[in-house]
Amino acid sequence: MLDHHMITRRRLLGLFGAAASVPVLSACGSSVGGSDGGDAGGGGGSVRVGLVVPQSGVYAALGTDMQRGWQLWLDGNGNRFGDYTVETVIADEGETPQTGVPAVQKVLQSDGVDVVVGLVNSATALGVRDVVSEARKLLIVTNAGAEDVTGAGRTPYVWRSSFTNAQVAAAMGTHLAESGFAEGVFAIAPDYAAGTEVITGFTRAFETGGGRVVGSATPPFGTTSDYQPFLTSIQNSGARATFCFFSGAEAITFVQQYAQFGLAGSIPLYGSGFLTEGNVLPQQGDAALGVQTTLHYSDQLDNPENAAFVETYTAAHGEAPSCFAVQTYDAANVLNRALRTATGLDGDALVAALGSVGTIEDSPRGPWTFDNQTPRQNIYLRRVENVGGRLVNAVVADLGPQSQPAAA
């Protein structure tokens, strides 16, 4: 088992599951007093934003990335959305809905924010749906990947600048079906909600493309440290490739054990992009070389916006940005666009304005648009390579724009 303290100090990518409850530690930013609402059409005044991200617990590193992305946009744009000065109130999401939901309630009720941005945990995002709807306030989710956030459980007041679990996985399903692996893939992911959504999205796309899943496994989430029994099953399955979803400490352990078991050379490993995203990658080391994943971002993307973003972010923080930073940076970007034309700061006015922002052509991830309140965005095939002594997710191919897959 990997040292827990070491992992949580790093870039833990345990994106969606629940963990032990931690206390809410709400911290106010530079905001003083309430927003005055300004004039119609973004005519001035201030807009108060509640940035609700993990500041404690195992997801704290994601929260750091998200805060950095948010602040980077503000620093580069005069701390303004349209003609409004931005006041940011930061609150600690913690790890579970037991901390995240009260944090959202606090910024709405005690701090009087106009907009809420953030949320790592999908259960928290779903848990605050009624809270923001009843308050008629806009929430832009900058991570949580559960389909229902912008699917069956959609409300007009909850939008997302990140991804859905099935969106990322379905792109890999289609790719593998078209790439000589249709004869058989083994699918493995932990037995919790995100794992289920990923495998379902992958399998549906893979089978639609003519592929066949020859075996599957669902290791217990958060407690599995020895994957040998599952690796044996993969070896004996006749699979030509493995598709997996793991994150955080589990991603490190699985990738290392997959290589140690000797499978990497004969049954190549593919995954949803969080398998090798952020600081899990240097901890995986050479075991990750050659692993291919799909995701909507890589710091290796070759476009002018990303080059500038990576340069500025790296200069400020001494490390390359992750998708978590980009997703929150883009939330600021779309709020700026919306507040150029919004008739007010109430949720209905902001929702109407968001629906008219069109293509966000200056994102580090590449151009994207809102489709059913969630990004329709290009998904990239990435391969872990050693570039100048640093492991990176090199971009192999642009798999084209993908929407949130339709529910079965």
The reported pLDDT for the residue numbered 408 is 59
Q: Are residues 276 and 184 in the same domain?
A: yes
Q: Which of 374, 328, 375 is nearest to 153 (CA)?
A: 374
CA distances from 243 to 177, 199, 295, 296 (A): 12, 9, 14, 17
Q: Are residues 100 and 51 in the same domain?
A: yes
pLDDT, tens digit (0-9, with 9 covering 90-100), for 90-99: 999 998 999 9
Q: Are residues 358 and 213 in the same domain?
A: no
Q: In the predicted model, what is the mean pLDDT of residues 291-311? A: 98
Q: Which of 348, 248, 372, 332 is nearest to 75 (CA)?
A: 332
- Which is more confidently placed, 19 or 277? 277
For residue 350, is it within any domain? yes
Q: Are residues 323 and 187 in the same domain?
A: no
Q: Please tell me the total count of domains within the chain.
A: 2
Q: Are residues 261 and 200 in the same domain?
A: yes
Q: At what angle do helices 304-317 and 323-341 cross, to 10 degrees?
A: 120
Q: Are residues 24 and 142 in the same domain?
A: yes
- 240: CATH: 3.40.50.2300
Is the pLDDT at 403 greater than 80? The verdict is yes
Q: Give me the long-range contacts of 359-362 (CB less than 8 A, separation at least 24).
A: 360/330, 360/333, 360/334, 362/305, 362/333
What sign does the dihedral 316-317-319-321 (CA atoms) show?
negative
pLDDT, tens digit (0-9, with 9 covering 90-100), for 34-55: 344 433 344 579 999 999 999 9
For residue 180, is it within any domain? yes
**Residue 318 burial (C-beta neighbours within 10 Å; 0-12, 13-18, 19+):** exposed
pLDDT, tens digit (0-9, with 9 covering 90-100), for 183-224: 999 999 999 889 999 999 999 999 999 999 999 999 998 899
Q: In the predicted model, what is the mean pLDDT of residues 285-305? A: 98
Interatomic CA distance for residues 325 and 214, integer angstroms: 37
Q: Are residues 190 and 147 in the same domain?
A: no
Domain that holds residue 117: 4-163+303-372
CA distances from 334 to 70, 165, 172, 344, 357 (A): 12, 22, 28, 16, 7
What does pTM read for this prediction? Answer: 0.88
Residue 261 tokens read as: 């078991």
Interatomic CA distance for residues 170 and 92, integer angstroms: 32
Q: Are residues 184 and 142 in the same domain?
A: no
The reported pLDDT for the residue numbered 155 is 96
Q: Are residues 66 and 172 in the same domain?
A: no
The mean-pLDDT minimum among 35-44, 57-66, 112-121, 288-297 falls in 35-44
For residue 407, is it within any domain? no
- Coarse DSSP helix, strand, coil percentages of the chain, rounded to the nearest 5 percent: 40, 20, 40
- Which is more confidently placed, 56 or 32? 56
pLDDT, tens digit (0-9, with 9 covering 90-100), for 326-353: 999 999 999 999 999 999 999 999 999 9
The reported pLDDT for the residue numbered 248 is 84
3-state SS, one letter per residue, for 52-119: EECCCCCCHHHHHHHHHHHHHHHHHCCCEECCEEEEEEEEECCCCHHHHHHHHHHHHHCCCCCEEEEC
The reported pLDDT for the residue numbered 278 is 85
Q: Are residues 142 and 77 in the same domain?
A: yes
Interatomic CA distance for residues 246 and 262, integer angstroms: 19
Per-residue confidence band for 174, with pLDDT thresholds at 50, 70 and 90: very high
Interatomic CA distance for residues 84 and 44, integer angstroms: 5
The reported pLDDT for the residue numbered 219 is 97
Q: Are residues 198 and 76 in the same domain?
A: no
- For the chain, give the percent of residues with pLDDT over 90: 84
For every residue of 128-165, DSSP letters joined together read: THHHHHHHT-EEEESS---GGGGTTT--TTEEESS--H
Other beta carbons within 10 Å of 371 = 14
Q: Which of 294, 295, 274, 302 is nearest to 364 (CA)?
A: 302
Per-residue confidence band for 304, with pLDDT thresholds at 50, 70 and 90: very high
Per-residue confidence band for 7, with pLDDT thresholds at 50, 70 and 90: very low
For residue 408, is it within any domain? no
Q: Are residues 237 and 313 in the same domain?
A: no
Is the pLDDT at 171 greater than 70? The verdict is yes
Please, what is the average pLDDT of the chain?
89
